[in-house]
Structure 1
Amino acid sequence: METLLYLTLLISGFYTPSSCLHQYHLITNNMNWTDAQSYCRAHYTDLATVDDMEDQNRLITSVSFDGWFWIGLKKGDSMKWNWSLADRRFYREGETEFRNWDTGTPQNGNCVLMSTAGLWNNTSCDDQHHFICYDGKQDTNLTYVLIQENKAWIDAQSYCRQHHTDLVSVRNQTENTEIEKKISLRGLPVWIGLFQDSWRWSDQSDSSFRNWQSGWPSTDQGYNCTLVSSDPSSDYYSKWINVPCDNNYPFICCDSAVETPEKPQLKRQVVRMKMTPKDQHLNISDPAVQDSILQEIRNKLKEQGLPADTKVTWKKQPDGKVFHKEEEGSPKKEEEKKMKRMMTKREL
């Protein structure tokens, strides 16, 4: 049986910052959150959205004096699971939804632990545990870094962002198994980057990036809108807190994202491949089998000199499938037969 495989190569870092930058504008008028939102929508695009740490750092440097400022994050009505690492290009289709819950979970608790058996449980974010950081920097050979210090989830997140890239995201069963092996000998569960909250951006962005101060957000009734501090002398510098939306503060608007020469678009190359499985009973629709094949392809590409941080994913076809059996009589098949006949005549 011959099967067509479709392979997408993202010729770029395995994790790169956003190639589009928000343009931030400080408005020094004191307004409540709702009026600030209306002002930004009338004069710019919306209240500020923050997609990642690069956005966060640029937002802070765009502020010309020290103080507290509204951004566009507001508490909503429904809870949603998010990954701490918010860059959407880090995930291929469906990977943000991968879960490996233990029996009877999720229940109470907004932050997620992985047990030494590789199963997930949710618990209070204030609990203290070891944690796993993801490191996507090109100058390191460590992808998953086990930190054997007990920290609350928010403090573990801050540590990973300061020293590596972020708390680890687990995108598929293969990665889940790799992390399980990393922690199995320690006998203790670890924080991963999955959390749930009901916070939503004013511009309806689905960015899961959060940068709360340790101990926040407050659960006080009516504390539904978000402030960021630009005071470098404060322990709250660049961190977020939530307060009542009727309070009056300056605010930060943003324009639509723009391209910059320093941040080029990802280079994408689609390659069609043909494979003849040795095991005719192999279930090539099994995600674990597909992940295993991808890993072999990554290893082969590295051996041939392709950068180790190249991202390799399967490209799904319109019917949602990756693999297609090449049928007898198809134009491609007939062309191959014709070429074989021509080669045979030359040999004769």
Structure 2
Amino acid sequence: MKKSALIFLILTALFEVALCGLYGNDIYFTKPKTWSEARKYCREHHTDLSSITTKDENQKLLDKRNTNSKALPAWIGLYSDANDTWKWSGGKKALFNRSRLMNPNDRNRCVAQNEEGWWKKDCEDEFNFYCFQSKLVLVKENKTWEEAMEQCRQQHTDLVSLRGESALIKTLQTCREAQTDHVWIGLRYLAGNWLWVNGDDMRYYARSQEKAPQCPAKSRHCGALSLEGQLWDSRDCEEKLNFVCY
């Protein structure tokens, strides 16, 4: 009976978020700053520096500028750390085509975008920049998965789904101040399948494996995002964690 009631509770809101599922928006600032100063400003007033994972996202950022400013470099959240690993600010290891960099052999570690492409620049150079403003809500209360879903639906819309690389990065940026090392997301194992409770497609797996774990242990039928591993994992549904809502 309890399982049937849970399935009904999940399915009553299926597809609701898919119709309005924006994770946030980007803002262009004409206030030249170093890369670190730009990130500090974005984190204090918004969420973080902007990330780009598709050509469409890249063009949307350019479209926020007027025609005369599209040639000017503007900081995005992409940088290379001391181990020469490319990352997104506040997000995760960056997966992108290195040929996108206009000057790949340059030793600078911070990236600025203009209409020609992405440029490795000295992080102390001062450029305009983009900030990402998240529309997601990090709830810093410890709840079971079902309690988290109920609270999201009562006070917001639903638990967040990770429908692609961009969504994963933006969710990680939103969770920078989480008080648990995992956060609940809207992923549940039911009737032999993993599903996003808002009906999003499961083709994208933000995991170390290409496929979702089949037949997980009975207690590990709920999905949580690991903030350290930057991937989702199956967890005990009765565990109490912070969570992220639309």
Q: Normalization by structure 2: what TM-score?
A: 0.46
Greater radius of gyration (CA): 1
Q: Higher relative CO (CA 8 A, sep ≥ 6), structure 1 or 2?
A: 1
